[in-house]
Amino acid sequence: MIKTFDIKIPLILLLNLLYVFILSTLNTEISPYVYVMLPAVFIVPPALFLNFAPAMFVVAFSALINEVVMPVRTGLVCALWLVCAYVVHNQRFRFRNFDTFSIISLMLVLNFCILFLYALLLPNGCAGVAEYFYRVAIDISISSAVLIAVAKFTVSLPADIMRFLGADISVAEGD
Amino acid sequence: MAWRDVSSVRNLAIFLCAIAACVLAPSVVRHFVDGLFEEFRAPIDAIPSQLNDLGKYWSLHSNSKRSLIEAGRDLARINSAYELKMLENKNLQDRVARYEDILNLPPEDSYKFEVARIARRDINAWWQQMVIRKGRVHGIKEGYAVIYSGGVVGRIAKANLYTSVVELVSSRNFRMAAHFDGEDRPVIYQGAGAVSLQDAKGEVRDVPGDVRASVSEPRLLVTSALTGTFPEGIRIGEVVDLSLGADGLFKSGTVRLGRALSTLREVTVLIPISEIGK
């Protein structure tokens, strides 16, 4: 599966764990009003920078860790994230130059699709259907606004850290 | 190249600051504001609910005289039925008092019923709670029981000045001693957390092995006085399945809670008489 050790794997894994921590803290404080969900942040960097098997491993691990803090069907969430990671990984060369607009578009579309599927496949208790869709709409809108602010940052952060450590990384060439 | 290095260090610094903020900020902010935010935004929660009440009042105000007369006549009939019930209730209370006097029993702990309207509902994967429009000024404190006509609603998790947060019976954080109707062996009830729309569930554990329940023959689970906050015998839900645990001694199963939980408009907070005035 993973033929050679790649420092990017533990780095992106660690970053994803820290994102889980940041989002959990944020959501613990603000969840009575809105719930920020950013699955794209966990999927796009590994799918762009890592080879196929490590990318799938990191995304699956992140999905399971991410869903531990939220009592929903983790298997389904993990499968959904893996499908999205597969799609992004196959299209990674289109985002080789890390153009800000294309990265934000990619993450927004990915995030919206995942949240929409969450809303359809993983409905959680609510006072009624109307209230549920109102809440989902608010969550998706706020999550998208937050994502626009952090999308480029989260994609460039692994590259920035590697550059700080003295190595340049780019879109994965393997597989 | 130098600019790229500066940008890398800046991004890294921002990220580290974000992590530091997540570690330190929540406790520091809570330490300084300590509920100030909740008090400040309490009117924001209450306004939609109060506007709803006002809307209902004006819609009733526009009713014709004829419909008001009819409603008054219906109310008069209901009132006379309630008057009979009140007489019956008073006789029963007198009888209980006489028995207590004869048997030299201490008076039973009783509760003051504080009816409160629901201002906001947070029923999602993260929280299972609701905000009611009464708080500390009405004598409500943390831990008090909250019920409705169909049984247990939850427990007061936080009492602000004019609002209170109720931890719902379906929440993972809600756990209490209970027993089956008609039995006195205690079992443990816990909320099951987020489930599908309008389908609140809980779990029951430490059920003796001889107790049976199924969808066709559900068993009623009621509160136990062992909890301290809830009076004896208030309905929690129906146990619809029980299976033997890994230890082979006790059973555990699913509790089906009332469907009205997610559509409630009013609840009752039970304030122990002994606590009033403290």
Which residue is it, tokens 């691990």? A61
Band of pLDDT at residue A171, cut at 50, 70 and 90: confident
Nearest by CB to A124, from B15, B125, B129: name it: B125
Higher model confidence: residue B188 or residue A96?
B188
Judged by CB atoms closer than 8 Å, whether chains meet at A29 and B26 is answered as: yes
Note the maximum CA span of chain B: 95
For residue B272, the tally of other CB atoms under 10 A from its CB is: 18
Instruction: Report chain B residues whose CB lies below 8 A from the CB of A124.
Output: 123-125, 194-197
Query: Which residues in chain B come in under a pLDDT of 70?
Result: 1-4, 30-31, 33-35, 37, 106-109, 124-127, 194-198, 277-278
Quickly state the pLDDT bin for A98 (edges 50, 70, 90): confident
> Which tens digit of pLDDT belongs to each residue from A112-144?
999 888 888 876 656 567 777 888 888 899 999
Spatial contact of B53 and B117, defined as CB atoms under 8 Å apart: yes
Rounded to the nearest angstrom, the minimum Cα separation between A26 and chain B is 8
8-state DSSP, B141: -
CA–CA separation, A63 vs A74, rounded Å? 8
ipTM above 0.90, yes or no: no
* CB within 8 Å: B199 and A161: no
Residue B34 is predicted with a pLDDT of: 62
pLDDT at A126: 61
pLDDT digits (tens, 9 = 90+) for B102-148: 887 766 667 888 999 988 877 766 668 888 989 888 889 999 999 99
Which of B5, B193, B197 faces A126 most closely, judged by CB atoms? B197
For A13, A60, A88, the CA distances from A83, given in Å and listed in that order, are 18, 10, 9
CB contacts < 8 A, A to B, total 95
Is the per-residue pLDDT at A104 higher than 90?
Answer: yes
- pLDDT tens for B20-32 read 888 887 777 766 7
Cβ-based contacts of A25 with chain B (< 8 Å)? 22, 26
Residue B92: the pLDDT is 93
Q: How far is A69 from chain B (nearest CA, A)?
A: 9
User: Which residues of chain A make contact with B22, given a CB cutoff of 8 A?
Assistant: 21-22, 25-26
Q: How far apart are CA B135 and CA B48, in angstroms?
A: 18
Q: Do A70 and B126 touch (CB under 8 A)?
A: yes
Judge whether B123 and B171 are in contact, CB under 8 Å: no
On whether any CB of chain B is under 8 Å from the CB of A128, the answer is yes
Burial readout B79-111 (b: 16 or more C-beta within 10 A, e: otherwise): eeeeeeeeeeeeeeeeeeeeeeeeeeeeeeeeb
Confidence band for A71, pLDDT divided at 50, 70 and 90? low
What mean pLDDT comes out for the span A89-110? Answer: 89
Point out which residues pair with B120 in neighbouring strands.
Answer: B131
Answer yes or no: do A161 and B127 touch at CB < 8 A.
no
Which residues of chain A does B31 touch, with a Cβ-Cβ cutoff of 8 Å? none
* C-alpha–C-alpha distance, residues A95 and A58, integer Å: 20
**Chain B within 8 Å of A134 (Cβ-Cβ)?**
no
Structural domain boundaries of chain A? 8-164
Contact B155, B143 (CB under 8 A): yes
Contact in structure between B264 and B148 (CB atoms under 8 Å): yes
Provide the 10 A C-beta neighbour count for residue B20.
10
Whether A127 contacts chain B with CB within 8 A? yes
Alpha-carbon span B130 to B198, nearest angstrom:
15
Closest CA to B10 of A16, A94, A160: A160
Residues A11, A161 contacting (CB under 8 angstroms): yes
Judge whether B189 and B236 are in contact, CB under 8 Å: yes
Predicted pLDDT of residue A105 = 93
Domains and CATH numbers, chain B: 67-108 (no CATH), 112-278 (2.40.10.340)
Q: Which amino acid is at B257?
A: L
Interchain contact A123–B (C-beta under 8 A)? yes
Q: Which residues of B touch A (CB under 8 A)?
A: 4-5, 7-9, 11-12, 14-15, 18-19, 22, 26, 120-129, 170, 172, 193-200, 262-263
In this complex, the residue of A18, A25, A164 whose CB is nearest that of residue B9 is: A164
Which are the contacts of A37, defined by CB distance < 8 A and separation ≥ 6? A111, A115, A118, A139, A143
Asked if residue A175 has pLDDT above 70, the reply is no
